Amino acid sequence: MMNNPASDTAVSPHQSRALPIALATAALLVLPWLVTNDYYLRIIVLSGFYIVLAVSLNITTGFTGLLSVGHAAFFGIGAYITALLTVGAEWSFWPAFLLSAAASAAVGAALGFVSIRLRGDYLAIATICFAEVLRLLALNWISVTRGPMGVPGIPAPRLFGVSLDSQQAFYYLIGVAVVLVIYTAHVIQASPFGRALFALRDNEMAAEAMGIDTRLYKVAAFTTGAMFAGLAGSLYAPWLTFISPDNFSYLESVMILCMLIVGGLGNIWGVAFGAVLLTFSLEILRPFETFRMAIYGALLVALMIYRPQGLFGNLGWKALRQNIGSRFGKGRGPAREPTP
Amino acid sequence: MVDYLLQQLLNGLVIGSFLALMTVGFSMTYGVIRLANFAHGDIGYMMGVYVAVSAYFAGVPIALALVVGLGFAALLGLVVVRVAYKPVFFAPRLVMLLTTIGVSIFLENLAMVIWGAQARPFPVPVDNPFIKVGSVRLFLLQGVVIAVTVLLAISMHVLVHHTRLGKSMRATAEDMETAKIMGINVNRVVYGTFLLGTFLGSVAGILAAVYYNSISPLMGFTPTLKAFCIAVLGGIGSLPGALVGGVLMGIVEALGAGYIHSGFRDGFAYLLLFVFLVFLPNGLFGKSRERA
Amino acid sequence: MTLFQVGGVGKRFGGLVAVDGVSFSIAAGEVLGIIGPNGAGKTTLFNLMTGLLKPTQGDIVFRGESIGGRRPSQIAARGMARTFQNIRLFNSLTVMDNVLVGGHTQLGDKFWGAFFHTKAFQRQQENLRKEAERVLRIVSLDDKRDDLAGSLPYGAQRRLEIARALMSKPTLLLLDEPAAGMNTGERAGLIETIRTIQASGLTLALIEHDMKFIMSLCERIVVIDHGQKIFDGTPEGAKADRRVIEAYLGAEE
């Protein structure tokens, strides 16, 4: 249903859909008490983090067409700020959480602003460089970040005097974040704001000529994506209790991008599912460390060749193909124009 | 003081040579088919060295082993372009980008599976005497690196400007459709470009492996990223741009590492690249034909 | 009353002078034709007028205010809309959404309204949608509203561009070769559409090659050749003007 804000402005559920939705909600609410295996519960929580990351990157890359390969950096900013404030400065979690999301959003805005003229490969590279600079900074600025030793002993958030350190507690915490990011993504998709982002993705010059300040919207798309990634990072730090620069490498960013592709660029539920799918399959293959990554690389190539529109496809992609097909025949079109 | 500076400049020149060789290969393929090959450093720079080392361990004399490594890398370049890249030539950029990243991840981890994840020394000890020029020490290997780079640069210049393949390459880079109409076998040009590009990359890789006395499955990643940015900086497809940009980059890195913080060496490089990309997306000489 | 004025505007790309000191004005309510041989600088002129390019000299005044260095989005917000010679639609969006994007200047993004799903927001969206349907009827695309813009046939894509521009309720509408690639029947339809638009009180300027098309729509034309204005007057006057004839004959050689 993506790219079609016209036909479903209604965010509120339909009468007939109320029951299944209520059942699914109930199932998700009791899930952490049904999964007694701590290992699987951890993977479920981990996929929650990746859903937030993937759906937020989808706003930047899927909706707006800005090819960012540095999303893990924002995740890292959130995690590090929370870790350093709660461990070193002994802040309590919640103000650190807010500051993490805000700082990450601010850095996102700054990155979006300076890279405003870049598109495609150039933007991709610029975001990689940016993320690497931050990672190397975390690695080398030892007096602040402890460098490669990382930050251990990150305390769990407390709410009304109760420490939320159980796996179940984190399930609900990340669950709230997941609901928030998916709701926001839906609102954006169905709002004039989202329409402006799609327009800018499809044709920047025309969008500008129609009165859309494309600079502002690019920055906004970056900021929104970064904010949610920072927010996820802020929860990630106390969940892991230990973070180091390795947690936020270039491969993480690529992984998040892959979740987008698997789920279908722009397709919110598809992307969320892609996040779950990749998290689970990679976790289950973890014992085969290097093999797993080699297979992952090969599968990525195969996916790009045989099913670049993702497992569930998306309308944006179809439109692209259709359009190319109709004018140039056989679906082989101009290589350079299409988004992103 | 001055000696230290000169010594760092010399180091920078050597680092710059590796980068320049990497960039020439990267820039050629980007120029001809607009494919930013993220696996560039893994195909040539890394795999070439490992195959050479393996051949050496299998009893092949080192000189021959190096040739085997270079040959294998060039061939691997062909295979990758045929199997993985050709199907996505006309796909949107994101697809191309992720395909090359996929190849990169695949090769890096394949190398880890076969040869282990740890960095290790280059197996053949190389005598590395130095001569003193004034008070600056010029090591033999540094001389070799610079000489090989200059030699290859000249050969490339001749190849690009005075051979049929070179002319076809330039025509294809200018406009693929027109090149096709003019009867140029574009496929052959693309394969030729990749063959040459990966060859140059693996020369850089072998030189770097000997010079730093270290090889690792991840050794190709950073140079690739730098090569992309230097290619942009020097103008996509521009040979002199790649050389000047590479050397400039190498010097900045060496000075940053020597004077500010050695651990943040790559950080300086990325920071500079980021700044250049953002403020000079058309390159230093304004040669780049496209921005996206 | 003068709605729009170009004063000695020039644009230079490196050594190439694309537009060279052109001046003219557009009065409220008129339909101005801009013609000239291929490569005369007409589209560059349009891009200067809409802010996609910044003039290297001269000034542009729209509704009493200089818009020389403004961004296209700011100029659009002041009430100027345009179409493109090489169609620039939002291909992965539906016809309806393309037109709704045109309403951006009317509404803004209204993010918080959407986030909290306010009544006022819903009402505005409903009004915008009604307006969009009205505009789609003008260009006879109302039955295609859920099709993807990229899948429309060529002529329909051109009409959709006009609809999208109309949706922003412009005071000045610039059409860049609106009839390019259309057959005779489609052209006749387009002329009707443009007349309807004009009758609703809009001011129009259009670039066109087809003289018949221009003659049947415009009261006044400006002729551009080699980046310079060589004629400004009635279509009949242009037919008799020696420089205009030479420019066209010269170009046909």
This complex has an ipTM of 0.87
Residues of chain C with pLDDT under 70: 108-110, 249-253
The answer to whether position C84 is within a domain reads no
CATH number of the domain within which B88 lies: 1.10.3470
Helices (H), B58-175: 62-80, 93-115, 140-162, 164-174
The answer to whether the Cβ–Cβ distance between A210 and C168 falls below 8 Å is yes
What is the band of A50 on the pLDDT scale with cuts at 50, 70, 90? very high
> Per-domain residue ranges for chain A?
38-328
- Which of B37, B42, B109 is the best residue to mutate to test the A interface, defined by the most A CB atoms within 10 Å of its own CB? B109
Confidence of residue B67 (pLDDT cuts 50, 70, 90): very high
Return phi, psi of residue C180, to 5°: -60, 130
Same domain, C217 and C94: no
How much is the pLDDT for B233?
81
- Do C157 and C231 share a domain, yes or no? no
- Compute the distance between CA of residue B34 and CA of residue B16 in angstroms, rounded to an integer: 24
The mean pLDDT of A77-85, rounded to a whole number, is: 93
Residues C147 and C69 occupy one common structural domain: no
Distance from CA of A20 to the nearest CA of B (A): 36
Question: Residue A7: which pLDDT band, with cuts at 50, 70 and 90?
Answer: very low
Q: Count up the domains in chain B and report the number.
A: 1
Residue of A229 and B116 predicted with greater confidence: A229
pLDDT digits (tens, 9 = 90+) for B257-280: 777 777 777 788 888 888 888 887
pLDDT of res. A180: 93
Least confident of B5-14, B128-137, B216-225: B128-137
pLDDT surpasses 50 at B97: yes
Pairing of strands C80-82, C228-233: unpaired
C169 touches chain A (CB under 8 A): no
Q: Which of C74, C83, C98, C101 is the mutation pick for testing A, counting most A CBs within 10 A?
A: C101
C70 shares its domain with C104: no
For residue B176, tell me if it sits in a domain.
Answer: yes
Chain C touching partners, 3 or more CB pairs below 8 A: A
Q: B220-250, pLDDT tens digit by residue?
A: 888 898 898 888 888 877 888 888 888 888 8
If asked whether residues C4 and C73 sit together in one domain, one would say: yes
Q: Does C22 lie in the same domain as C68?
A: yes
Alpha-carbon torsion (C42, C48, C49, C55), positive or negative:
negative
Q: What is the pLDDT at residue A103?
A: 95
Is a pLDDT exceeding 50 seen at residue A334?
no
Q: How far is CA A179 from CA A12, A184, A186, B197, in A?
A: 14, 8, 10, 48
State yes or no: pLDDT of A182 exceeds 90. yes
C207 Cα to chain A: minimum distance (Å): 17
In the CATH hierarchy, which top-level class contains the domain A38-328?
A: mainly alpha
Q: How confident is the model at residue A111 (pLDDT cuts 50, 70, 90)?
A: very high
**Considering chain B, what is the average pLDDT of its residues?**
84
- Is C158 part of any domain? yes
pLDDT at B50: 92
C-beta atoms surrounding B138 within 10 Å: 16
- For residues C192 and C67, membership in a common domain is answered with yes
Helix or strand holding residue C4 (H, E): strand C2-13
* DSSP class of A69: S
In a domain, B270, yes or no: yes
Which residues span the domain enclosing C127? Answer: 89-169
Q: How many domains does chain C have?
A: 2
For residues C176 and C252, membership in a common domain is answered with yes
C203-to-B141, B239, C31, C195 alpha-carbon distances in Å: 74, 53, 6, 11
Residue of chain A with shortest Cα separation from C152: A323
pLDDT tens digits for range C182-216? 888 888 888 888 988 888 889 999 998 777 888 88
Q: Which of residues 306-325 of A touch B (CB under 8 A)?
A: 308, 320
> Does any domain span residue B259?
yes
- Looking at the structure, tell me whether residues C63 and C184 fall in a common domain: yes
> With contact defined as beta carbons under 8 Å apart, do A217 and A208 qualify?
no
The first and second tokens of residue B140, run together, are: 């033999």
Do both C180 and C60 map to the same domain? yes
* A258 inside 8 A of chain B by CB: yes
User: For A293-313, how does the pLDDT look when each residue is reduced to its tens digit (9 = 90+)?
Assistant: 888 889 889 888 888 777 766
pLDDT band at A340 (very low <50, low <70, confident <90, very high): very low
Give the number of other Cβ atoms within 10 Å of residue B181's Cβ: 9
Length of chain B: 292
